[in-house]
Structure 1
Amino acid sequence: MAVVLLLYLVAEIAAVWAVSSVVGLFGTLGLLVVGALLGSWLARREGVRALRSLMTAAQAGRGVQNEVTDGMLIAFGGVLIMVPGFVSDVAGLVLLVAPTRKLVRRAWLRRAERRMAAGGAKRVIVVDSEVVPDDPRHPVIESQ
């Protein structure tokens, strides 16, 4: 994890350095501020859309996993936009724009399903208010 953080910091510094060598210090600061303002507006707009979509799906009785996942990705994208730097701004915009967010959501849900299938969570069945293990090799421990 420390290596990833170090690589991220190096990429951010290199990006800021490259942009500032082209547009200057004040141009770089202006781009960072405009990116944060534009990103916060986009995050707010997409967040409201995701909330409306969640409410519509819940009222229709459909599953809401896509809407909840979109909301989490939008929130994370908004946080990335607020972090100073161009790399984080690009990553945040990727999560805030609907078509790319849809691709990220699919990949994320696919990965979560694989992890669950590999034993990340145990299923249980409720029969007449009694919890019965789905797999008899893994008994359910009930708290008293």
Structure 2
Amino acid sequence: MTTGAQTPTPLDTRPRRSRLRTFLPLGLAVWLVLEIWLLTVVAGAAGGFTVFLLLLAGFLLGSVVIKRAGRRAFRNLNEALQRGTPPSSGGGSGLMMLGGLLLMIPGPVSDGLGLLLLLPPVQKAVGRYTERTVDRKLRAAGPGSLGDAFQQARMHRPDGKVVQGEVISRDERGEGRQDRRPPLTQ
């Protein structure tokens, strides 16, 4: 004898997987196969030693780019701290580091993407797109999410007081236990 109401199964209560989590492994596998296939095509046309030299040159160029971008980011941070102003977005240093990392990854496709990210117009376009996307996602985020956490981090008490507290975790029975970590501020 069954009634019209069914109890939900664990599969019904799970949240749906995002498209990124669904297609990212497939995209990485396709990218890996494409990189290997292109390396074999280049090796067949120019020889294995040429492929080795190309991979070595990409690795060395990528490491130089990452080192230079890191120095620039550190210098910008130092200058901002000396001026007493908040640091800027880095002036494309993050995208330069990403371009250097892509150059260091073996393969012609990643090298091409890395070289594209080193071009200033491409850096500006990708930087603007990324900034707009992050802003839109943070505005669309509901309470209790990452966007809310950024808002909470900016809240200050009007009198400037710091309220010290301790973390109390509740176990399944509802009994509290104190965490033995020291407070964040003195």
Shorter-chain TM-score range: 0.7 to 0.9
Instruction: Determine which of 30, 34, 44 is the counterpart of 1:21.
Output: 44
Confirm or deny that 1:108 pairs with 2:130.
Answer: yes
User: TM-score if structure 2 supplies the norm length?
Assistant: 0.59
Deviation, 1:97, is 4.3
Alignment of 1:92-131 (within 5 A): 92-119=114-141, 120-122=146-148, 123-124=151-152, 125-126=155-156, 127-129=158-160
The amino acid of 2:147's aligned partner reads A
Contact 1:46 1:96 in 2 (8 A): no
2:68 and 2:40 mapped to 1: Cα distance?
Answer: 31
Q: State the partner residue of 1:58.
A: 81
User: TM-score if structure 1 supplies the norm length?
Assistant: 0.72
Contact 1:77 1:94 in 2 (8 A): yes
Judging changes above 3 Å, is the alpha-carbon distance between structure 1 residues 91 and 36 closer, same or farther for their aligned structure 2 residues? same
Deviation, 1:32, is 1.0
Contact 2:61 2:100 in 1 (8 A): no
1:119-141 superposed Cα distances (whole Å, 9 cap, x missing partner): 1412243232479xxxxxxxxxx
Structure 1 or 2, whichever has the larger Rg, is: 2
Unmatched runs of 5 consecutive residues or more in structure 2:
1-23, 168-186
Aligned length: 133
Instruction: Determine which of 49, 52, 71 is the counterpart of 2:72.
Output: 49
Deviation, 1:24, is 1.6
- Quick one: percent identity of the two aligned structures? 35
Q: Which has the higher helix share?
A: 1
Aligned-residue RMSD, C-alpha: 2.7
Q: State the partner residue of 1:38.
A: 61
Contact 1:81 1:88 in 2 (8 A): yes
Deviation, 1:109, is 1.5
Unmatched runs of 5 consecutive residues or more in structure 1:
132-141
Where relative contact order (Cα < 8 A, 6+ residues apart) is larger, the structure is: 1
2:25 and 2:97 mapped to 1: Cα distance?
Answer: 24
Judging changes above 3 Å, is the alpha-carbon distance between structure 1 residues 4 and 70 closer, same or farther for their aligned structure 2 residues? same
1:56 and 1:96 mapped to 2: Cα distance?
Answer: 24
1:54 and 1:102 mapped to 2: Cα distance?
Answer: 20
Judging changes above 3 Å, is the alpha-carbon distance between structure 1 residues 58 and 98 closer, same or farther for their aligned structure 2 residues? farther
2:39 aligns to what SS in structure 1? helix
